[in-house]
């Protein structure tokens, strides 16, 4: 059957609901992308399948994947269809196709040659697991992660050196020291997650953990040769890797251990792509099960940015004996690509409860009373998780700390109170509705120091440091308040003020962000370059490398990049700035969520300005990112 016949068939719906649900209508309403429809129609055509309920499910599965979901849950769709689609229309349409319930829908799918069941898994485009429908590859990724975790849960725990742990945490406190618990947990297990908001001591804690692992690896008898522990540090972006390098180096200095131990802790972090041996542009990595990484311990920071396929590939490349330690802030925006792995794995972490035997064990190792957190129904994964709750960056007087907390809770009233409270480090600019334009002159002021540094031709290290102090963040890409227009307006404004000679060509001070990994240059999507003349007065774009040094490239060597006086909140993940201005659009948008604003707020160390209306701030506080996957139910509820 050709695809035009299929479209005719799909149009066979109850008269009153006809325009509401067929694939072309779903596409016109933006529920489906052209690619979702083409994909499922081609598959169906090839397999000579024509059941509209199958086509609908397949197309939605593809569309939801594009929006970051790992799967669709037919039972959920049956109750709450995609936005813009009437429930009655969807059900009416499916009923017309002989599907009167979720069970019918599943039965229809399971009869299709395009769908495989999990009990007799075969390589077909779609996988039906209960009421969840996956694209085959994503089901495989999810299973890889689950199988890895199940294997770790079965492994015998290690015996960490309790004396060393207490030496690393000498302070006696009345309450539980969760940093100490995190170290005890992670030192006992081959897999662990340490989550916490900004400044809660994730790097401090993990540096102590690495110190413990290194010190434990030293032979008791110093006359024996020491087999060095191979530790690798990684993060999803170059910027995050550079920050991890810097933070570990700083935290190492404060360790109450010998120089020998400190020297054996690496500082240099790489990107995940580099670690796995990216052959840019292809989805396969050099390191995988057949060619595993050469390491004993892998620490990955900023894991909220890691998508499911990347996590699966990372796990695939781990040698069987390796320890994996994941660090991140579970409340930040999920990865750009599909999945919310950190959020799913640490789903119940807020409750901090452990199975009683594990709680006893932790009490013995730490000397703190963890038995108060014992709960016989704690799932296995809970022992691998520790949440750090105390921020050492933001004290009681910090507006940024209070605002981040209120937004994270989704407490719109507290967010507004905080914005109005007159904290010295939090400012709120409500847009003037009649104007409908971003206040570029005020936003641009934050770059005065930068332009002065450009004029003074300071060295690139210093210029980079000055540039990194201030950042304008946008919630969206398009429109007057989107990153593209704001950057164009800023360049124009700098031009009018004489700071930029000609915004259409390369100029001293032009700041760009790469939008693609570039194998030939060894640079990554998200890397920031600043344009300045070299010693011969030729303009070059200077990029900071993972070791903190700079390379200067001729502008002609860069192919895909954008100006970056403003960047989206998504792109800012993994970076921090002293001062941040977060610009919201004037009209509601589904991207305005609690996670997005929380991520924006927590990029600021010292000063945060929110540009946005009360209504949008309230709506964002009440809107959460929800991504479907099978991880939460497999790990937390099954």
Ligand X SMILES: Nc1ncnc2c1ncn2[C@@H]1O[C@H](COP(=O)(O)OP(=O)(O)OP(=O)(O)O)[C@@H](O)[C@H]1O
Span interacting with ligand X, options 193-201, 290-298, 304-312, 467-475, rule CB under 6 A: 193-201
394 or 481: CB nearest ligand X: 394
Site stretch for ligand X (CB under 6 A), options 111-119, 197-205, 407-415, 606-614: 197-205
> Of 188 and 200, which has the nearer Cβ to ligand X?
200
Site for ligand X in 55-114 (CB under 6 A): none
Cα–Cα distance for residue pair 361/427, rounded to 1 Å: 47
Examine residue 529 and tell whether it contacts ligand X (CB under 6 A): no
Closest approach of ligand X to the CB of residue 91, in Å: 46
Dist CA 322 CA 189 (whole Å): 10
Q: Which one among 196, 236, 339, 482 touches ligand X, defined by CB under 6 A?
A: 196
In whole angstroms, the minimum distance from the beta carbon of 349 to ligand X comes to 15
Phi-psi region of 581 (alpha: psi -120 to 50; beta: other; left: phi over 0): beta
Annotated binding site: 196-203
Structure tokens at 406: 């209120």
Q: List strand residue ranges (DSSP E) for 98-199, in order.
A: 115-117, 126-129, 132-135, 191-196
Nearer to ligand X, 315 or 473 (CB): 473
Residue among 321, 392, 462, 557 that touches ligand X (CB under 6 A): 392
Strands 297-300 and 323-328: parallel
Dihedral angle at the C-alpha atoms of 326, 332, 335, 341, nearest 10 degrees?
50
Phi, then psi, of 278 in degrees rounded to 5: -70, 135
Q: Which is nearer to ligand X, 404 or 483 (CB)?
A: 404
Q: How many helices (H) and strands (E) does the chain have?
A: 28, 20
Closest to ligand X by CB, 235 or 541: 235
Contact 601, 582 (CB under 8 A): yes
Q: Which residues, at least 6 apart from 72, have a Cβ–Cβ distance to it below 8 Å?
A: 57, 60, 61, 64, 132, 133, 628
Smallest separation, CB 578 to ligand X (Å) = 13
**Cα dihedral 319, 163, 389, 245 in deg (nearest 10):** -50
Q: Which is nearer to ligand X, 249 or 551 (CB)?
A: 249
Backbone angles phi, psi at 551, to 5 degrees: -115, 140
256 is an interface residue for ligand X by CB under 6 A: no
- Cβ proximity to ligand X: between 248 and 418 the closer is 248
237 binding ligand X? (CB under 6 A): no
Shortest CB 199 distance to ligand X, Å: 4
- What is the nearest approach in angstroms of ligand X to the Cβ of residue 393? 5
Q: Look-up: residue for tokens 């440091």?
A: 465
* Of 210 and 486, CB closest to ligand X: 210
Number of residues that bind ligand X (CB under 6 A): 14
239 binds ligand X (CB under 6 A): no
Candidates 160, 199, 238, 431: give the one binding ligand X (CB under 6 A).
199
Q: Considering beta carbons, is residue 149 or 206 the nearer one to ligand X? A: 206
Among 179, 271, 386, 525, binds ligand X (CB under 6 A): 179
Given the complex with ligand X, which of 199 and 552 has the nearer CB atom?
199
Window contacting ligand X (CB under 6 A); options: 195-203, 492-500, 520-528, 551-559: 195-203
Q: How many CB atoms lie within 10 A of CB 34?
A: 8
- Report the nearest approach of ligand X to the CB of residue 411 (Å): 21
260-to-163, 227, 489, 593 alpha-carbon distances in Å: 18, 14, 53, 47
Stretch near ligand X under the rule CB under 6 A, chosen from 145-153, 200-208, 458-466, 528-536: 200-208
The residue with tokens 């100006």 is 563
Query: Do 531 and 500 contact (CB within 8 A), yes or no?
Result: no
574 binds ligand X (CB under 6 A): no
Among 468, 461, 466, 472, residue whose Cα is nearest residue 544: 461
380-403 burial by CB neighbour count: b if 16+ within 10 A, else e? ebbbbbbbbeebebbeeebbbbbb
Q: Interaction with ligand X in 203-232: which residues (CB under 6 A)?
A: 203-204
SS in 3 state form for 44-74? Answer: HHHHCCCCHHHHHHHHHHHHHHHCCCCEEEH
**580 close to 473: Cβ distance less than 8 angstroms:** yes
Residue list for the binding site for ATP: 196-203
In the stretch 444-483, what mask flags binding to ligand X with x, by CB under 6 A? ----------------------------------------
> Is the CA virtual torsion 199, 200, 202, 207 positive or negative?
positive
Question: Does 393 contact ligand X by CB under 6 A?
Answer: yes
Q: How far, in Å, are 35, 106, 190, 601 from residue 55 at the CA level?
A: 13, 13, 43, 42
401 lies in the site for ligand X, by CB under 6 A: no
CB of 72 to ligand X, least distance (A): 34
Residue with Cβ nearer ligand X (388 or 444): 388
Considering the complex, what minimum distance in angstroms separates the CB of residue 375 from ligand X?
A: 26
What contacts 54, CB < 8 A, 6 or more positions away?
Answer: 44, 108, 109, 112, 114, 115
Q: Does 198 bind ligand X (CB under 6 A)?
A: yes
**Beta-carbon-side half-sphere exposure of residue 9 (alpha carbons within 13 Å):** 18
Q: Which stretch binds ligand X (CB under 6 A): 159-167, 192-200, 220-228, 480-488?
A: 192-200
Single residue of 37, 69, 91, 202 touching ligand X by CB under 6 A: 202
Is 226:219 a contact under the CB 8 Å cutoff?
Answer: yes
Q: Is 352 in the site for ligand X (CB under 6 A)?
A: no
Q: Which is nearer to ligand X, 346 or 485 (CB)?
A: 346
Hey, what are 176's tokens?
A: 């539980």
Query: Running DSSP on this structure, what letter comes out for residue 609?
Result: E
| 526: contact with ligand X by CB under 6 A | no
Instruction: Identify the residue among 200, 487, 589, 599 touching ligand X (CB under 6 A).
Output: 200
At closest approach, how far in Å is the CB of 13 from ligand X? Answer: 52
The window from 198-206, 274-282, 508-516, 540-548 that contacts ligand X (CB under 6 A) reads: 198-206
Q: Give the three-class secondary structure for 377.
A: coil
Q: Are 149 and 635 in contact (CB under 8 A)?
A: yes
Binding window for ligand X (CB under 6 A); candidates: 191-199, 274-282, 308-316, 359-367 = 191-199
Token pair of 542 as six digits: 């200077």
Are 538 and 554 a contacting pair, CB within 8 Å? yes
Burial category of 621 from C-beta neighbours within 10 Å (exposed 0-12, middle 13-18, buried 19 and up): buried
**390 or 633, CB closer to ligand X?**
390
Nearer residue to ligand X within complex by CB, 201 or 343: 201
Of 48-56, 130-138, 144-152, 201-209, which segment contacts ligand X by CB under 6 A? 201-209
- List the beta bridge partners of residue 386: 194
Alpha-carbon span 540 to 531, nearest angstrom: 5
Catalog residues that contact ligand X under the rule CB under 6 A: 179, 196, 198-204, 247, 251, 392-393, 576
């Amino acid at each position: 059957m050709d695809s035009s016949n299929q479209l005719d068939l799909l149009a066979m719906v109850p008269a009153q609901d006809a325009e509401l649900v067929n694939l072309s209508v779903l596409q016109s309403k933006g529920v489906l992308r052209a690619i979702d429809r083409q994909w499922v129609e081609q598959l169906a055509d090839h397999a000579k399948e024509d059941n509209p309920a199958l086509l609908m499910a397949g197309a939605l599965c593809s569309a939801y994947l594009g929006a970051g979901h790992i799967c669709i849950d037919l039972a959920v769709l049956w109750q709450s269809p995609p936005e813009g689609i009437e429930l009655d229309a969807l059900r009416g349409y499916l009923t017309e196709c002989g599907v009167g319930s979720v069970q019918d829908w599943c039965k229809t799918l399971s009869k299709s040659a395009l769908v495989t069941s999990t009990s007799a898994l075969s390589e077909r485009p779609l996988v039906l697991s209960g009421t969840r429908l996956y694209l085959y590859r994503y089901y495989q990724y999810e299973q890889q992660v689950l199988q890895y975790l199940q294997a770790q849960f079965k492994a015998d725990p290690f015996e960490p050196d309790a004396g060393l742990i207490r030496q690393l945490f000498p302070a006696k406190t009345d309450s539980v020291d969760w940093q100490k618990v995190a170290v005890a947990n992670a030192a006992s297990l081959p897999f662990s997650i340490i989550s916490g908001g900004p400044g809660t001591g994730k790097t401090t804690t993990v540096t102590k953990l690495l110190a413990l692992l290194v010190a434990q690896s030293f032979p008791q008898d110093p006359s024996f040769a020491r087999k060095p522990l191979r530790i690798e540090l990684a993060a999803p972006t170059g910027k995050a890797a550079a920050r991890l390098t810097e933070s570990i180096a700083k935290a190492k200095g404060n360790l109450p251990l010998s120089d020998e131990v400190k020297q054996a802790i690496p500082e240099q972090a790489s990107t995940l792509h580099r670690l796995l041996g990216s052959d840019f542009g292809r989805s396969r990595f050099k390191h995988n099960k057949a060619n595993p990484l050469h390491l004993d311990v892998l620490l990955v920071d900023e894991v909220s940015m890691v998508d499911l396929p990347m996590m699966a590939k990372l796990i695939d490349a781990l040698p069987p004996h390796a320890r994996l330690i994941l660090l991140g802030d579970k409340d930040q925006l999920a990865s750009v690509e599909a999945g919310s792995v950190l959020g799913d794995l640490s789903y119940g972490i807020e409750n901090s409860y452990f199975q009683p035997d594990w709680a006893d064990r932790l009490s013995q190792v730490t000397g703190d009373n963890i038995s108060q957190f014992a709960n016989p129904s704690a799932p296995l994964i809970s022992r691998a998780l520790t949440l750090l709750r105390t921020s050492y960056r933001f004290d009681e007087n910090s507006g940024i700390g209070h605002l981040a907390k209120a937004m994270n809770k989704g407490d719109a009233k507290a967010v507004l109170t905080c914005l109005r409270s007159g904290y010295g480090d939090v400012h709120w600019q409500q847009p003037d509705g009649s104007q409908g334009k971003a206040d570029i002159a005020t936003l641009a002021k934050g770059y005065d120091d930068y332009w002065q540094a450009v004029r003074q031709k300071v060295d690139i290290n210093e210029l980079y440091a000055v540039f990194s102090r201030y950042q304008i963040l946008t919630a969206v890409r398009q429109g007057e308040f989107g990153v593209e227009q704001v950057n164009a307006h800023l360049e124009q404004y700098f031009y009018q003020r004489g700071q930029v000679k000609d915004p259409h060509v390369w100029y001293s001070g032009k700041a760009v962000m790469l939008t693609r990994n570039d194998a030939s240059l060894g640079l990554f999507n998200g890397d920031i370059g600043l344009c300045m003349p070299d010693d011969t007065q030729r303009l070059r774009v200077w990029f900071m490398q993972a070791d903190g040094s700079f390379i200067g490239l001729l502008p002609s060597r860069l192919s895909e990049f954008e100006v970056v006086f403003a960047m989206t909140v998504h792109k800012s993940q993994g970076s921090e700035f002293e001062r941040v201005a977060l610009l919201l659009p004037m009209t509601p948008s589904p991207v305005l969520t609690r996670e997005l604003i929380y991520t924006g707020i927590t990029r600021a160390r010292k000063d945060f300005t929110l540009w946005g209306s009360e209504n949008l701030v309230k709506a964002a506080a009440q809107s959460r990112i929800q991504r479907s996957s099978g991880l939460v139910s497999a790990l937390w509820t099954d």
